[in-house]
Structure 1
Amino acid sequence: MMSAAEYIRDTGFEHKEQGGQIVLKTCPYCGDQKSHFYMDPEEGAFFCHKCNERGNLITLKKHLGDFEYSRPESRTRKPAGKLQGQVSAAFPENEKAFTLPDEKKALQAHERLLKDPEALSYVTEARAITRETAIQFKLGLQVDGTGSRWLTIPHYEKGNLINIKSRSLPPAEKAFRRVTGARSILFNSDCLQENTEEVYIAEGELDAITLHDRGITNVVSGTTGAGAFDPAWIDQLAKLKRIILCYDPDEAGQKGARELARRIGYDRCVNVVLSDSQDVNDFFASGKDIFDFQVVVNEGKKFDVAGIVSFKEALLNYCKELERAYEAEAGIRTGWPSIDRIIKTGFMPGELVVLSAPPKIGKSTFALQVITHNALQGLPSLFFCLEMRPRKVTEKIIQCQTRKPGAGEEIDRAWEILKGMPLYLGFSFQKPTLEGIMETLKAAVRRYGLKLVCFDHLHFLCRSINNQVQEVGLAVQSFKFLAEEMEVPIILIAQPRKIQANEIMTAMDLKDSSSIFSDCDHLIILHRQRKASRSHEVAGGAPLQDQAFEPQTLVRVEASRYNPGGEALLYFHGEYSRFDEIARN
């Protein structure tokens, strides 16, 4: 019988031996990457000090779908809906201790507000928040060195002061500031500990405080603006059955509400839109009461069902897209102007982009460069690769950005450029299934708010012996439906069938299924000429080729649902995994 140590080595888990035990860098259950998973090398008894999962070798094999029952052909399979693989940030911010605000000063500011009639009247009259609620949330008054006056809103979590947001008081121009280096939290998140049924989410703290003042205590709000919602906050909402979004009715507020609903699930969300361009606080400050608010809540609607839209809305969306077609930020860009000119509007939400080329031409490098380019623009992007582990992908990113073949000396400089950018890497530490990959990608889009996804690659996922064509067709359709459902463009890397050397492949050369071509919105093909010395040239002393393919790369947008396609030339730097534009007259 195979020992636990042999099994771990055979499955390829990154591990080390410590104190007579095997320590896995990544827990197969919770995905923690800080070496908290300990295992006996012989018997296989294990325990994760992060998620507290425990068991033995058989337990682990069952979890990984790798346990054989009495009938060898019968193997456990992951049930549909269970996540498979792992997604993590490629270049997370350096771990650091967050700054803790001075609670003594926060309490002094609170006392100052209660003794200042003018500032207190702003809260109780202009904002229509009772004195009792101001005391409960410890609102305060801060006067800075210039004499400017600020309303302070402390952010507490489990009784501890985590941050303080300050808002300028009239007649000063509206402005906000926070404690530098302090952690951002979900405001009033302690209410989630006692409630798993329903929660209201307001756009800002004063809106949340206003609802709390009117008796709606199960209310939280973001603390970083309508367009931002931290992945950790998404996790805090996971168990709630109904979520009522009360964002501002302006364009920014409604865009933020829809984005949040996309991430936490449209089916759980009700969108409440107040009339007359009022936010929640304006609504109550204008003299309306909780009964008026409940009428509006009852009129709240779920967001559009994916795939169903009225003709009126379709017409409005069409007009918006026509306008957007002329804007520079129409869709996701590749980063190469010559290619972006061909694609014109960029990759739009819901589009499936298939990228193909013969082996070793640079498909993964091309896709990874597109992903990195967009992450550097601040768009959360995911590169999910079945053939390379994150360490190798990270090395390629560093080489590409520093233009250096070795990553060692350039790591510090690259880290300063890349740290904190919203680039995520995914991999599967077990045999992947289509259902498992789909669920993992859905979860990643929702948790991290992804705007672009690349999957590398289709034919590594689909390896059926008897039904390869059907399996590939189903997978392509699933990726297209996923792009539509999650409202993100997906780049899907696919392999071609075997073609003649130096022949430029076409859509008909895609391997295993014509549905790859018919279901995608864009098909991009890469081609590089093969370099090979002939025998008589070698015999004659001619220098040997220094690389297998020419660096000049033809990029052909073979087919596009919305434009005629075209061709561009890039230069491939194989030594540091990068494509660059070729200047042409």
Structure 2
Amino acid sequence: MTYWKDGARLVQWKWVSLSRQLFPSLGPVRSFLAHSFSLKRAGSTPVRLKRTLRSDKANQGSPGPTTDNAARREASNDPTPADAGAPPADLFPPEIYGEPLNYTNSDHDALRRGVSNAWSLRDLRAAALWPAVARWPQRRTRPPIRETPTGTPFVSQFFELPPGHMVRYLEDKGLEVRMMDQHAVVRICPFCPPVRGKADNMFKLYVHTSSGVFFCHRCGAKGNHWDLKRSFGDILEPLSWRGQFPENAHLAPGAHPTSARPADSGAASVSANTSQIDSVATEQLPVVDAALAAQCEARLESSDAVKQFLKSRGLQLATARKFRVGAGRFRFRDSGSTADIWSEHDCITFPWIEPEWLTTRAPSTLVELDHRRDPNPAGSNLGSEESACQDSSVPPPSRVLRLKIRSVLRKSAMRLEPRGGYWGLFGMHLVPADAECLVVTEGEFDAMAVHQSTGLSAVSLPNGARSLPPALLTWLERFKRIYLWLDDDIPGHDGARQFAHKLGLQRCFLVGSGNGSGPKDANEALLQQRDLFAMIERARPVPHERIVTFADLRADVQRELANPVQVRGLQSQTLPGLNRLLKGHRRGELTIFSGPTGVGKTTVLSQLSLDYCMQGANTLWGSFELNNVRMAKVMLSQFAGIGLDAMGERFDQVADQFEQLPLYFLRFFGSSDVDQVIHAMEYAAYVYDVAHVVLDNLQFMTSGQGRGYERFEIMDRAIEKFRAFATEHNVHVSVVIHPRKEDEDQLLKTASVFGSAKATQEADNVIIIQNGRHYKYLDVRKNRFDGELGNIPYRFDPVTRRIRELLPDEIQQLEDGYRVCS
């Protein structure tokens, strides 16, 4: 008999060494397991079960002699040969023994909760739990395996984490590590079987400190840093406003994350098989109707409005045909109209086409190809790597994944067809299979302008400078040099730096003046008859974050002096007085909101975040006081400008518009671990490129986590981490903190914010909502941008849940009315 001990549990397995002749069929084995396999709590002495196989002996005969070799090998963790105590080969497929752990959360919970229940062989075989039982850890807790609707996002092999990030994370998890070159080597791998005190079984898990890629040389667990964090339960996928997961966040057709990663990067996830998840989800995502795409492409020749529009942009009709640009008439809702009024527009269509070489060739082959062509433009001095960018024979295009439809008269009238489909890159089907460098632009016209003027391979981003979905990183993995040509303004520069971190700083180069003195984009450079090829040649590398010189800062200083309006950030459309004081909403800042209980902190912050979100700021909401359903109802009413009760039949119309906003919700409520909240924020910043994070509120988040002065220390550490996150990821973080208990007739001050002074010291802005004598108002108590302070009186509409800034005449009337009544 063989025993495995796990803490206080003893597993008795009676049939491991039974001969194969004993079980000619599966029936007796299943019957035996159903009666004899059990897990019992261990006391001071081992518990030996008295069950036997009397019924099976009567039917099959006496078993052959047993051996203890399997038990000794299991105790020493030596590999067990197939002919020495292993289960019969026809009972368990060979691949079960070699696969990494990828059973689901339900199987994991069932095994831990149902230790006293009998398990049949069918259960073990169906759930693939045979290796899990043998690998049950000793004296350590296995990280909980979380079920997620999608695989972990793809991470480029060129991606680099902040210095010390992985070491701090491993130490926070209580793992003992030692440094070896660029790796943190973990003493006891949390995914491994019990080490049994053997030194040979320790320090097998290697984690690359800069990329976060890990691999265990003992159990084979491997993946990227998101896989590791998700296996520990630190990554929860944010929800959309309807409580759904964005299923296509990590999916791109033609190249699965597992196949696109280098062999040494550890593509497999320890929590789930990403390739299987992708293949299942791929069938669920819609693709544009091929007839519609072909019809739009055919209408280009007959659409005078689109041809004239292309001509005004300096683009040739041959270039549009090459990019398979189309035309058509589509209906859009009239802007600024409260009624449901639609009108037809002459539109231009930009297809996202899946190139044939993405599905017909392996990524490793694409990187190794080096068929150089040298059709360099006259006078160019690009090196050999740049020469590989030149256009060559265009591979046959594959299916059209999606269409971006845009009105030629109103830029804001734009939509994607179909909704919820794949992400894609406009112009990717023109990139040769052996190209090694690529120009990435912000808009479709910019990509066509670069290709028309230089002949270089150029693609445009699906969302402009707002986001770069991780699904598209698999398409860009093989390029050695990537030229980022985004708009020469503040949002364009912020987006370029953010995307360069995802793609890898060492292979990204920024095109443009950098100070706002040149053309705004590639299309404008084409209209000004600039030398686009020379501008790409002068592309500059992304400066190092930790080491800069004045030459690196000079362009930024000059740009801010030349564009003071852009430096101010997003302007509030609903509270213009806030623009007068704070000048705008800027990335990388920390804002503290405070005010008495019930004054409307959540309502005000909800409206402000919705205001910025409607202007393109990807927003992540973390409501620890209200559940997400109630929060979504408040924001939906503010968005529609009417009460939910009066919405009636318009609900679907308003909900469809609201759904298009880049708005996500954290799945936390009440007391939550601050580190897990930070990990979720980092995940959202990487996957969804969030620009604004709202946390409401700090007291609920840290409630019950300390007593006395320990509460202040916990809050101080949380503020310190939020401040570091805002600076490191260039994200604006808004945190709600309740004030101390003070007299109701006294106005709150900066010192009234609960906790120590660290919160208000670390913050860039401090806004207190005051209950004034005549009206409520926003009291700006701190403004690090330019120091201007002041008040913004407002009135609350309980029907629409909106606040409206009071005009000077209204303020005077309220104050005069109070004097008359008094």
Name the TM-score, length of structure 1 as normaliser: 0.62
| Cα distance in 2 between the residues matched to 1:355 and 1:478 | 17
1:499 corresponds to which residue? 742
Note if contact 2:405-2:414 (Cα within 8 Å) is conserved in structure 1.
yes
**5 Å matches for 1:218-237?**
221-222=459-460, 224=462, 227-228=464-465, 233-237=469-473
1:100 corresponds to which residue? 290
Note if contact 1:357-1:525 (Cα within 8 Å) is conserved in structure 2.
yes
Note if contact 2:235-2:683 (Cα within 8 Å) is conserved in structure 1.
no
Offset of 1:272 from its aligned partner?
4.8
> Residue type matched to 2:353 in 1?
Y
SS in 1 for 2:796: strand
Total equivalences in the alignment: 475
| Cα distance in 2 between the residues matched to 1:500 and 1:144 | 65
1:556 to 768, 776, 779: 779
Offset of 1:484 from its aligned partner?
1.9
Note if contact 2:624-2:668 (Cα within 8 Å) is conserved in structure 1.
yes
Offset of 1:369 from its aligned partner?
0.7
Report which stretch shifted further, 100-109 or 237-246: 100-109
Offset of 1:480 from its aligned partner?
1.8
SS in 2 for 1:271: strand
1:365 corresponds to which residue? 603
SS in 2 for 1:377: coil
> Residue type matched to 1:552 in 2?
Y
2:751 corresponds to which residue? 508
1:15 corresponds to which residue? none
> What does the per-residue CA deviation read over 1:60-118, in whole Å, with 9 as the maximum and x for residues that have no partner?
992479xxxxxxxx999x9995553442333799x9874434576699899x9xxxxxx
In structure 2, the CA distance between the partners of 1:103 and 1:499, relative to structure 1 (3 Å rule), is: closer
1:156 corresponds to which residue? 353
| Cα distance in 2 between the residues matched to 1:152 and 1:521 | 43
Structure 1 gap segments, 5+ residues each: 1-35, 46-52, 66-73, 113-125, 146-150, 168-174, 530-549
Note if contact 2:465-2:486 (Cα within 8 Å) is conserved in structure 1.
no
Note if contact 2:288-2:402 (Cα within 8 Å) is conserved in structure 1.
no
Q: Structure with the greater relative contact order (CA < 8 A, sep ≥ 6): 1 or 2?
A: 1
Note if contact 1:201-1:243 (Cα within 8 Å) is conserved in structure 2.
no
| Cα distance in 2 between the residues matched to 1:584 and 1:551 | 8
Offset of 1:246 from its aligned partner?
2.0
Q: Does 1:444 align with 2:444?
A: no
| Cα distance in 2 between the residues matched to 1:165 and 1:414 | 22
**5 Å matches for 1:250-269?**
251=488, 256=492, 258-263=494-499, 265=501, 268-269=504-505
Note if contact 1:208-1:221 (Cα within 8 Å) is conserved in structure 2.
no
1:458 corresponds to which residue? 698
Offset of 1:393 from its aligned partner?
0.9
Offset of 1:271 from its aligned partner?
1.0
In structure 2, the CA distance between the partners of 1:403 and 1:61, relative to structure 1 (3 Å rule), is: farther
| Cα distance in 2 between the residues matched to 1:523 and 1:54 | 54
2:727 corresponds to which residue? 484
Q: Does 1:62 align with 2:62?
A: no
Offset of 1:436 from its aligned partner?
2.4
In structure 2, the CA distance between the partners of 1:350 and 1:434, relative to structure 1 (3 Å rule), is: same
| Cα distance in 1 between the residues matched to 2:425 and 2:791 | 48
In structure 2, the CA distance between the partners of 1:54 and 1:460, relative to structure 1 (3 Å rule), is: farther
**5 Å matches for 1:53-452?**
62-63=144-145, 82=230, 83-90=234-241, 98-101=288-291, 155-157=352-354, 159-162=398-401, 181=417, 185-187=424-426, 200-203=438-441, 206=448, 221-222=459-460, 224=462, 227-228=464-465, 233-237=469-473, 240=477, 244-248=481-485, 251=488, 256=492, 258-263=494-499, 265=501, 268-269=504-505, 270-273=508-511, 301-306=540-545, 309-312=548-551, 314=553, 317-318=556-557, 320-322=559-561, 324-325=563-564, 330-333=569-572, 335-343=574-582, 345-400=583-638, 401-404=640-643, 406=645, 409=648, 411-412=651-652, 414-415=654-655, 418-428=658-668, 432-452=672-692
In structure 2, the CA distance between the partners of 1:242 and 1:388, relative to structure 1 (3 Å rule), is: farther
> What does the per-residue CA deviation read over 1:381-430, in whole Å, with 9 as the maximum and x for residues that have no partner?
23222222321111111233434264763634532653412333223279
In structure 2, the CA distance between the partners of 1:406 and 1:155, relative to structure 1 (3 Å rule), is: closer
| Cα distance in 1 between the residues matched to 2:350 and 2:795 | 54
SS in 2 for 1:455: strand
In structure 2, the CA distance between the partners of 1:140 and 1:480, relative to structure 1 (3 Å rule), is: closer
SS in 2 for 1:450: coil
2:382 corresponds to which residue? none
SS in 2 for 1:512: coil
SS in 2 for 1:502: coil
Note if contact 2:108-2:145 (Cα within 8 Å) is conserved in structure 1.
no
Note if contact 1:332-1:348 (Cα within 8 Å) is conserved in structure 2.
no
> Residue type matched to 1:415 in 2?
A
Note if contact 2:592-2:737 (Cα within 8 Å) is conserved in structure 1.
yes
In structure 2, the CA distance between the partners of 1:255 and 1:347, relative to structure 1 (3 Å rule), is: closer
Note if contact 1:99-1:180 (Cα within 8 Å) is conserved in structure 2.
no
Offset of 1:358 from its aligned partner?
2.5
In structure 2, the CA distance between the partners of 1:199 and 1:465, relative to structure 1 (3 Å rule), is: farther
In structure 2, the CA distance between the partners of 1:327 and 1:373, relative to structure 1 (3 Å rule), is: same
1:519 to 762, 780, 788: 762
> Residue type matched to 1:459 in 2?
Q
Offset of 1:578 from its aligned partner?
2.8
In structure 2, the CA distance between the partners of 1:41 and 1:362, relative to structure 1 (3 Å rule), is: same
Offset of 1:376 from its aligned partner?
2.4
**5 Å matches for 1:465-480?**
465=706, 467-480=710-723
SS in 2 for 1:350: coil
In structure 2, the CA distance between the partners of 1:140 and 1:484, relative to structure 1 (3 Å rule), is: closer
Note if contact 1:340-1:346 (Cα within 8 Å) is conserved in structure 2.
yes
Name the TM-score, length of structure 2 as normaliser: 0.46
In structure 2, the CA distance between the partners of 1:97 and 1:80, relative to structure 1 (3 Å rule), is: closer
Note if contact 1:101-1:161 (Cα within 8 Å) is conserved in structure 2.
no
Which structure is larger by alpha-carbon Rg, 1 or 2?
Answer: 2
Report which stretch shifted further, 488-497 or 271-280: 271-280
| Cα distance in 2 between the residues matched to 1:569 and 1:141 | 50
> What does the per-residue CA deviation read over 1:456-485, in whole Å, with 9 as the maximum and x for residues that have no partner?
122233343153222222221222222222
SS in 2 for 1:579: strand
| Cα distance in 2 between the residues matched to 1:436 and 1:461 | 11
> Residue type matched to 1:554 in 2?
Y
> What does the per-residue CA deviation read over 1:309-339, in whole Å, with 9 as the maximum and x for residues that have no partner?
4335545544544554457964443731233
> Residue type matched to 1:474 in 2?
R
What value does the CA root-mean-square deviation take over the aligned residues? 5.8
Offset of 1:503 from its aligned partner?
2.6
SS in 1 for 2:630: helix
SS in 2 for 1:367: helix
Offset of 1:234 from its aligned partner?
2.8
SS in 2 for 1:518: helix
In structure 2, the CA distance between the partners of 1:311 and 1:386, relative to structure 1 (3 Å rule), is: same
In structure 2, the CA distance between the partners of 1:221 and 1:490, relative to structure 1 (3 Å rule), is: same
| Cα distance in 2 between the residues matched to 1:178 and 1:416 | 14
> Residue type matched to 1:465 in 2?
G
Offset of 1:514 from its aligned partner?
0.8
In structure 2, the CA distance between the partners of 1:527 and 1:189, relative to structure 1 (3 Å rule), is: same
| Cα distance in 1 between the residues matched to 2:403 and 2:698 | 48
Offset of 1:267 from its aligned partner?
7.3
Offset of 1:355 from its aligned partner?
0.3
In structure 2, the CA distance between the partners of 1:188 and 1:477, relative to structure 1 (3 Å rule), is: same
